[in-house]
Structure 1
Amino acid sequence: MSPHTTTSLEDRLRALADELCTALEQTLAEALHSAEAGSIRPVQLTHELGLNKSLASRVIRALHEEDSLRALRGIPTPQGLQLIHHAARKAQASDAVLERLNRATEAYAELLSEFSGGRTDLEATLAGWLPEERERAERDARRSVFRGMTTLCGTRAGTVYNSIYLLPSSEDPERLDSLLVAIRQDVRRLRVGAPLLVMSFGPFRDDEDWRSKRRTLGGREVQEDPLSFLLPDLCSHPIPKLEVTRSRCDATEIRIAEDSLDVNEFATLGLGCRTLGHFERFATPESRYGCMPVRAGRPAEALTFDLFIHRDIVIEGDPIATVSLDHPLPRRLDAEPPAEGSPDRTTAPAVIHLDAHPSGLSSQDVRSCKAIAENATREAGLQPSDFRKFRTRIEFPIQSEELTLWWRLPERA
């Protein structure tokens, strides 16, 4: 039996953090000759003990933390602690405090050996008990993934923006039509020949005739010309040459032609379509929610998603957002949101009610959001004020990640 089976991991981590901090405080106080542990400053460690600034600052920040798990997250690696041990011995700290620091360092090294990923895995574990640390750790991890995927894919975008407008169906009172506006802002190719996907139109529901339900925003049939979805007023000019292909999952893909956009040349593209009978209007025995998932598809700095609900449409409560890594597109649009803690849900970003927000439609990620909304609704013979407006976003979205907005459907009267 493991000697740790009767003690939770959190308890072990807290006990180790407390012991490490106590050992460090005693060692540094003796090494600095009568300095009080609580008053030690990084400059003392650099000038008197010869520690580098980074290590000195990290130690002092950890010792000033009130929560032991936060302290453990800041404590240096065992190698860093050995440098402190060596410096303190040279400064003639007592054998007793040095031995205590040595035992704590060995216990720390033993703990790290239990994590296959070492310090990285330990920090991920600690973040689970520290919500604000988890947010920071996830943001840093997302940024690292973004940089790596930018190198691998050879492309990047500033912002991937999607807005979907729900309105009563023009053909079926039991269903809702949708308007989708997709903006790919500041896309660029960083490597010669790198494929640059702009947008993918996939099937929805189990409907073999789904393409016939797609229209331009103004309601015009497009037949076999998906480039009719292009919104020139929302594109940068000159508009690069676009190519249309069919994917293995029967989705229509629109790409920037290889010979059309030079390396590191920016382009912004806007596309929009209307889908007839896209969603259920009322709850059914099989489903109580409507939902719309979106993906960045390529490395991007931000994924922003707006939901506009026509004022003639009733939903229960406000929409919610979830992020999942597990669901491939296309997927059912009538499921229920995964519960908190479910493996199908990695996080739940905030949803802002834009009608009540001081900035209104303005966005930190998307240029001219108000003009985009006016353009989209004008094409459909409507205006932005006809809709209630909601927004969610994530920074540095992972390519396979789905950001989904869910709305609770009302019962039939």
Structure 2
Amino acid sequence: MSDSKSIQTSLVHFDYTPPEGFGAFPVPVHRASTVVFKNVEAMRSRDWREKNSYTYGLHGTPTSFTLEARLAAIEGGEHCLLAPSGLAAISMVNFGLLKAGDDLLIPDNAYNPNRELGRWLAEDYGISTRFYDPLIGEGIAALIQPNTRLVWTEAPGSVTMEVPDIPAICKAVRERRASGQDIHVALDNTWAAGLAFRGFEHGVDIVMQALTKYHSGGSDVLMGAVITRDKELNHRLGMAHMRIGFGVGMDDAYLVLRGLPTMKLRFDAHDASARKVASWLKTRPEIARVLHPAFEDCPGHATWTRDFTGAGGLFSVVFDDRFSQGQTDRFVDSLKLFSIGFSWGGAHSLCVPYHVQGMRKNWSGKGHLVRFNIGLEDPDDLIADIEKALGALSQA
């Protein structure tokens, strides 16, 4: 048989291999669905659960393996699984550890899609879901039933910003596990990005991150991660990852990798600006409360002082209850430098009003809540913008 190939075959099968020795800072983008094996023995000997070889694009390429290793290192973990969003990462944990008849505990101030997922598990999958007071601390022990398998935590809580006592919750769970119960603590650590709070050092078993936020930093990537220290636990979660078919695009993985070297610099800048803006807002008569964990009147502030090293750019305010929903909405609409939009962690400042009374069982606040994400603009310009928008309150 001749070795000569038609033009069409030559377009598919080519012999050129680039020379070795190329060096550059960016991690190469390896895109693949099909992974090619040297021979049948090599194909049969590989295990997708181990990260020492490649089997299929869904299970990773050198690009995603590199991102997983770097994310695990940031959190002080050993293993990492990537998912197409933060909510997908939460789903991976739930479906990896829960079955019909199990019990799930979620804090009342959790990220709302996590709450909705819990309700869905209860309604359609026979998994009892209970919502607990996020400031319960060691009192969580009284809520743990023999069939409780997973306790979610979030530090601080979404929108209302309460800071839970994670070590106390983890201690109660460890005591039950020591007696033979299959139970774990999962932490949504997105707010602190693994920089201002190290979950494993405070006792959690699983850390979830929405890489959509500070890790990418560009408001252009949807991705999540689940990080563990225990290999067997990682394998359990990995089975859910495989069965659900979670995968991420390598171009998106590259964008997150590109953001990591500047993440702490950006996080610290967000933090400094947010504290300046929040401190100014505390002086305003229109604002009844500033819900920022670094401030003494934020629920759980003492815990934040003990366990955290920073704060990032996200906080909320509660307007004086003399202002109507229409007035606070007009305030948000009047802002020029703040866009109205969910998610956060990017360079642009954001502002979103919330109906907290319909979201939280334990919320007793009377005024209307507005959440701020302070971006990377000059904080003095942001303050001037807010000051002007506050003037619109009386016009509704």
State whether TM-score is above 0.5.
no
More helix, by proportion: 2
Bigger-Rg structure (1/2):
1
More strand, by proportion: 1
TM-score by length of 1: 0.28
TM-score by length of 2: 0.29
